A and B are shown apart, each in its own frame.
Chain A
Amino acid sequence: MSAPPRESGRESGRESGRGMGGATGGATGGGTRDVPPRGPFVSGALARFAAAGIVLFARLVTAVRGIWDEGPPDGGRRVYFANHSSHGDFVLLWTVLPPRARARTRPVAASDYWLASALRRFIGQDVFRAVLIERERGPGGDDPIDTMTRALDAGDSLILFPEGTRNTGSTALLPFRSGLYRLAAARPDVALVPVWIDNLNRVLPKGERVPIPLVCTVTFGAALELGAGEPKAAFLERATAALLALAPGTSIEPSDDTPFDGPAP
């Protein structure tokens, strides 16, 4: 299985040429994939049923709890950026959101994975309404940042994994790729909310098929904004620090000797 939800962030250095203005302009370039097709009524009911089932299953296995200082997120437009260590990350984040916010929150995910079969297409497009982006952009392909800004402009919130790939090592976070910065530059008015998803990598380690039930938490931090003229490196460093600050073990007393991360074999 390849990594499903995925942030597109392409190599650094690109954004200087791309800049902030290109987003809306690029929107006219088509891109059928980010707008999920409105299925017939039956498919919609099935999608809602599947969504309820997935939420119930996630709660049964992980008893997941959302932790937020300033109350649960309302229906407002946000970009949630989270650590990525498991296939189920966006499901967990999505599960703890209040239903109203959940209905308007879409994960950003790789189209090659989520369009690969009918079942994945149903789950990705109808259930989670994923914003699908292309990992390998061919000539004439859509710019992933344009795809994401179109979803934001339509009033939706996004779930983004700025590490760009699943972190299966023992470090807490991989270096962020540039996508978060480019999205922030394209839509500076959208709040960027760091979200730490804890323990899910232990529930289903790479290569295992049966999940073990463990208590997971999803911690929401204070929203970030891109400062005027803030350089990319400084912004990404700030965003990384904001996300890491939410990880248990960094905020709990020192007696807590990182019980949540077994050594990687």
Chain B
Amino acid sequence: MNEARSDLLALLGGVGVVLVVATLIGRTLAARRPEGRPSPVIDNLNARINAWWGMTFLLGLAFLGGRIGVVLLFGFCSFAALREFVTLTDTARADHRALVAAFFLVLPLQYLLVWQAWYGLYSIFIPVYAFLFLPILAALGGSTERYLVRVAETQWALMIAVFCVSHVPALLTLRIPGHEGREVLLIAWLVVVVQISDVLQYVWGKLAGRTELAPTLSPSKTVEGAVGGIASATAIGAALAWITPFRVHEAAALALVVTSMGLAGGLVMSAIKRDRGVKDWGHLIAGHGGFIDRLDSVLFAAPVFFHLVRYGWADT
């Protein structure tokens, strides 16, 4: 237990050092730019670094708060993400009751089940019961106009914003022999690897980006950025094997899987944004956009990582 805590503090300390270096670089760039020449890229970089400080602080606080802290933090992330997602959907007035149920019934119940570690129910609650129950409410709303589209949008909103996000705190419920009391470090490893992959893809893309990866989806993603980011994040994931139950080569393989899922998640969420004609999901995280803009990679990686660890390492 104490060892887990000291490992966690060591990891947070490491992230803190990275942030200090990033902050110094960002401030230096801002100070060195010519007087009166605005630079949106540098301003955005500094806004992002500032937001990283805030997010690291909140995540660290939740980790120290244990399972309840982590469940509450990701429950709020789900709330904010669902709010952003539903804002961009074409739901009609007839969907109001279904959406009320999604926000105030399905979301809290899912996190309650995660908190109670009831794997048998939380892993099917949304894809089975919510997916049957909400279309009934929408049908009772009386409007059949674009009914299938509206129902599908609401269901995908729940899948992305609640089901996927809830698999991050669900990692706390895994019982891994020889790793008891260290479950929170699994979350820390997943979040650090996936997010550092995003950051490194951004950095590699800015330094060496030549070839656009998917110009119709995301103008900022490049092949060089994606390869460089995923490769270096995989190396970091392997180097962090000491906080996980994995051996070094296992950690590298898992890091490759989650960072690849993260890249794919970013592309999928970009496709939705393009479809809806917006640049960002929201505005609450300065420099980054909305919660989904920051979570898009984590939420695609989390369920896959959860199941790989559950079947590969945990007592089931």
* Chain A residues packing against B (C-beta within 8 Å): 63, 65, 199, 202, 205, 208, 210, 212-215, 252-253, 255-257, 259, 262-265
Contact = CB atoms under 8 A, between A and B. Distances in A.
6 contacts: A63-B282, A199-B87, A213-B79, A252-B277, A262-B92, A265-B94
Contacts of B294: none
A255 B277 contact: yes
Given A199-B87, A212-B86, A213-B79, A263 B145 contact: yes
A161 to B, nearest CB: 21
A255 B276 CA distance: 8
A257 B149 CA distance: 14
Contact of B99 (A212, A215, A255): A212
B87 A65 contact: no
B93 A262 contact: yes
Classify the interface of chain A: helix, strand, loop or mixed: loop
Given A210-B100, A256-B277, A262 B87 contact: no
Nearest to A60: B79
B79 A265 contact: no
Contact of B142 (A65, A199, A264, A265): A265
Contacts of A213: 79, 82-83, 86, 103
Nearest to B90: A259
Contact of B96 (A205, A259, A264): A205
B298 to A, nearest CB: 20
B217 interface: no
Classify the interface of chain B: helix, strand, loop or mixed: helix
A212 B96 contact: yes
A137 B235 CA distance: 76
Nearest to B98: A212
Interface in B235-249: none
Given A63-B284, A265-B143, A215 B84 contact: yes
Given A213-B83, A257-B277, A263-B145, 9 more contacts: A205-B96, A210-B104, A212-B99, A215-B84, A215-B283, A215-B290, A256-B278, A259-B276, A262-B95
B88 interface: yes
Interface string B54-81: 0000000000000000000000000110
A215 B92 contact: no
Contacts of B80: 63
* Max count, chain A CB within 10 A of own CB: residue among B86, B93, B100, B278: B93
A259 B88 contact: yes
A228 B277 CA distance: 41
Contacts of B283: 63, 65, 215
A208 B94 CA distance: 11
A255 B277 CA distance: 6
A257 B82 CA distance: 21
A214 B87 contact: yes
B234 to A, nearest CB: 35
Contacts of B143: 263, 265
Contacts of A205: 93, 96
